[in-house]
């Protein structure tokens, strides 16, 4: 059974990142009391909810998939009660404004909670994920009247939210969206069909607030002519009570490889009189409104890769300690130990990167002056790496979890394969990882000539100096490995930047390797930071076993994981034209 890694989380939040110092001075959190006491209280509560309430649902949801009959979705047993308990605990709006039904806490606490929900049951975790995203878009762009009606209800968990972007023929490119909106007084009528709508219908909350992209009759062609609308499942009366059912119904639920407990719906709007919708923001500016929430959403998808990997790791370790082969538990076999240590090192690296950049996200929102601008550029750079790298690694690690189980991993009864099946969607949605890689090199790297990346590389170089000057031999070796990986990354960065000006096809062809190289480098950077903190605590005689493990994990990463950077750099530098040289007719 899944148990949240609370000690690892708290070490990161309070010792490595030091949120009390990093965020405590911001006006936004002046009254919150950010620091170890708050961290302990929140993590303890989230850990209990994850282990006792959510984790037992993982196999239930997998065995009893959500289904749709007669325009109504039935979710797995126990999901509704757990969703309501999550909402009652204030977890949905943990980082939202207090005056809008939220808790007003730093994003890093929402990040830690999100990892726990995903480690316990990823299908379940999608419900609060979509709701908090919908609330973000409404808070940023809706009128005060719409905010007063919908925002607190979503943040409190009483109502849930969805995103309705995709249609048949309109996936990542939303220009061909055909769902239409017609003006009607102070509202609109929405007609059309959306696909892949996560948690599109259920009865776990009183109402569902759909955010729907649609096109007005006189809108410009393409993505410049898309508007965003709130389309509630139930209309809301003037006194705030729920009124009649809106013309928005599920048609079916998808039969998926994984996340069976999550109802992924085909949604029909306006099959009868037309679904009533309310404009969010300005007409024809819907994509900009929807993308307000994309940084947060993509961070949360990266956390799905981390959470599923942690769950798979815990199951694999437990099995390896119990399974005897050759007269000993298989955890003593060199290759099994290799797989488990690889899982642990990469999980800790991913977690450290995601948690660190959750703090960057708050600084980008709430810091002042130049610091705010610098942090905005940094979080923009980091998000495609977190989303892309963490989900690719998540697929690798959950597959290793199956491998540790041997033949039993291929048998559904053990539950090992579910982690792999569930996490496989993460490199696909919220922008495929190919899109994340292209975004990294085009919008995030090329737009400032690599300035934001260079600033990050300089931070890594400073850490290298600290590691190489350490008294610990293992940390010195990590410093040398990190230095080599950094030099390769600088060369690859300059190569990509040069190609963006002269050979964009091959630049984009190398983008995925660059994203992965960046992820492995950044993961080593963050583990190096953690190892230095652990070494300092060890020198003081504190947390001896814990700190020894932290340092050993970082050393392993430097020796066995960081060399992957060289392979990706080679693909970028030495294989620059290999893609364009391969004729399409040969495929």
In three state form, how does the secondary structure of 47-107 look?
HHHHHHHHCCHHHHHHHCCCEEECCEEECCCCHHHHHHHHHHCCCCCCCCCHHHCCCCCCH
Distance from C-alpha of 65 to C-alpha of 419, rounded to nearest angstrom:
15
| pLDDT profile of the chain (587 residues), mean per 10 | 96 98 93 95 98 98 97 97 97 95 96 98 97 95 97 97 89 79 97 97 98 96 93 97 98 98 98 96 93 87 98 98 97 98 98 98 95 96 98 98 98 97 97 96 94 98 97 96 98 96 93 98 98 98 97 98 97 88 94
Structure tokens at 81: 């009660």
Report the pLDDT value the prediction gives residue 329, as an integer from 0 to 100. Answer: 98
According to DSSP, the β-strands at 275-280 and 187-198 are antiparallel
Distance from C-alpha of 306 to C-alpha of 324, rounded to nearest angstrom:
29
Report the pLDDT value the prediction gives residue 213, as an integer from 0 to 100. Answer: 96
Report the pLDDT value the prediction gives residue 5, as an integer from 0 to 100. Answer: 98
Structure tokens at 226: 């898309």
Report the pLDDT value the prediction gives residue 169, as an integer from 0 to 100. Answer: 76
Report the pLDDT value the prediction gives residue 377, as an integer from 0 to 100. Answer: 95
Closest alpha carbon to 308 in 197, 401, 404, 383: 401
Distance of CA 75 to the CA centre of its chain: 23
- Select which of 107, 127, 310, 430 is catalytic: 430
pTM for this one?
A: 0.97
CA distances to 10, 136, 265, 531 from 23, in Å: 15, 21, 39, 22
CB atoms within 10 A of CB 273: 10
Report the pLDDT value the prediction gives residue 574, as an integer from 0 to 100. Answer: 87
Report the pLDDT value the prediction gives residue 184, as an integer from 0 to 100. Answer: 97
Report the pLDDT value the prediction gives residue 290, as an integer from 0 to 100. Answer: 86
261 by DSSP, 3-state: which? coil
Closest alpha carbon to 300 in 364, 413, 387: 387
Closest alpha carbon to 217 in 311, 284, 279: 284
Backbone φ, ψ for residue 278 (5° rounding):
-125, 130
Report the pLDDT value the prediction gives residue 544, as an integer from 0 to 100. Answer: 97
CB atoms within 10 A of CB 220: 11
Distance from C-alpha of 197 to C-alpha of 285, rounded to nearest angstrom:
21
Structure tokens at 171: 């996936």
Structure tokens at 428: 């696909």
Distance from C-alpha of 573 to C-alpha of 488, rounded to nearest angstrom:
10
Report the pLDDT value the prediction gives residue 293, as an integer from 0 to 100. Answer: 81
Report the pLDDT value the prediction gives residue 311, as an integer from 0 to 100. Answer: 98
Question: Is residue 454 among the annotated active site residues?
Answer: no
């Amino acid at each position: 059974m899944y148990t949240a890694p609370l000690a690892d989380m708290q070490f990161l939040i309070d010792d490595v990142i030091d949120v009390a110092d990093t965020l405590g001075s911001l006006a936004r959190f002046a009254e919150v009391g950010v620091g170890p006491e708050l961290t302990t209280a929140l993590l303890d509560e989230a850990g209990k909810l994850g282990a006792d309430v959510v984790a037992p649902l993982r196999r239930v949801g997998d065995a009893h998939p959500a289904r749709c009959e007669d325009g109504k979705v039935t979710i797995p047993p126990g999901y509704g009660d757990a969703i309501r308990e999550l909402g009652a605990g204030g977890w949905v709006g943990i980082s939202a404004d207090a005056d809008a039904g939220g808790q007003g806490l730093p994003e890093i606490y929402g990040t830690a909670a999100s990892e726990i929900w995903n480690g316990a049951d990823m299908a379940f975790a999608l419900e609060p994920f979509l709701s908090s995203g919908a609330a973000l878009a409404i808070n940023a762009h809706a009128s005060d009247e719409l905010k007063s009606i919908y925002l607190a209800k979503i943040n409190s968990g009483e109502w849930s939210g969805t995103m309705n972007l995709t249609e048949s023929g309109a996936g990542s490119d939303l220009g061909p969206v055909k769902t239409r909106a017609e003006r009607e007084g102070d509202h609109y009528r929405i007609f059309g069909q959306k696909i892949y709508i996560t948690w599109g219908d259920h009865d776990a909350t009183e109402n569902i607030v759909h955010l729907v992209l649609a096109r007005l009759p006189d809108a410009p062609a393409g993505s410049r002519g898309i508007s965003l609308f709130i389309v509630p499942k139930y209309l809301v009366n003037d006194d705030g009570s729920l009124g009649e059912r809106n013309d928005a119904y599920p048609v079916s639920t998808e039969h998926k490889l994984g996340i069976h407990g999550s109802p992924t719906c085909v949604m029909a709007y306006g099959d009868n009189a037309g679904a009533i919708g309310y404009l969010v923001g300005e007409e024809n500016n819907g994509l900009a409104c929807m993308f307000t929430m994309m940084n947060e959403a993509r961070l949360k998808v990266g956390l799905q890769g981390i959470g599923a990997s942690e769950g798979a790791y815990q199951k694999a370790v437990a099995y390896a300690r119990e399974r005897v082969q050759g007269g000993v538990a298989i955890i003593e076999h060199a290759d099994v130990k290799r797989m488990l240590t690889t899982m642990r090192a990469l999980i800790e690296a991913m977690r450290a990167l995601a948690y660190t950049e959750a703090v960057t996200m708050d600084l980008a929102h709430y810091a002042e002056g130049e610091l705010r601008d610098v942090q905005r550029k940094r979080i923009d750079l980091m998000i495609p790496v977190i989303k892309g790298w963490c989900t690719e690694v998540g697929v690798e690690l959950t597959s290793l979890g199956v491998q540790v189980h041997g033949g039993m991993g291929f048998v559904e009864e053990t539950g090992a394969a579910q982690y792999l099946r569930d996490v496989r969607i993460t490199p696909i949605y919220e922008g495929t990882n190919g899109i994340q890689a292209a975004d990294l090199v085009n919008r995030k790297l090329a737009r400032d000539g690599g300035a934001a990346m260079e600033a990050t590389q300089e931070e890594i170089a400073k850490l290298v100096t600290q590691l190489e000057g350490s008294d610990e031999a293992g940390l010195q070796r990590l410093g040398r490995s990190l230095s080599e990986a950094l030099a390769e990354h600088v060369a690859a960065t300059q190569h990509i930047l040069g190609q963006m000006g002269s050979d964009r096809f091959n630049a984009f062809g190398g983008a995925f390797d660059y994203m992965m190289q960046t992820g492995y480098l950044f993961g080593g950077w963050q583990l190096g930071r953690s190892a230095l903190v652990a070494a300092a605590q060890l020198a003081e005689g504190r947390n001896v076993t814990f700190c020894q493990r932290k340092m050993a994990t970082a050393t392993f990463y430097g020796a066995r994981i960081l060399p992957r950077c060289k392979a990706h750099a080679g693909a970028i530098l030495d294989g620059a034209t290999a893609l364009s040289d391969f004729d399409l007719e040969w495929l």
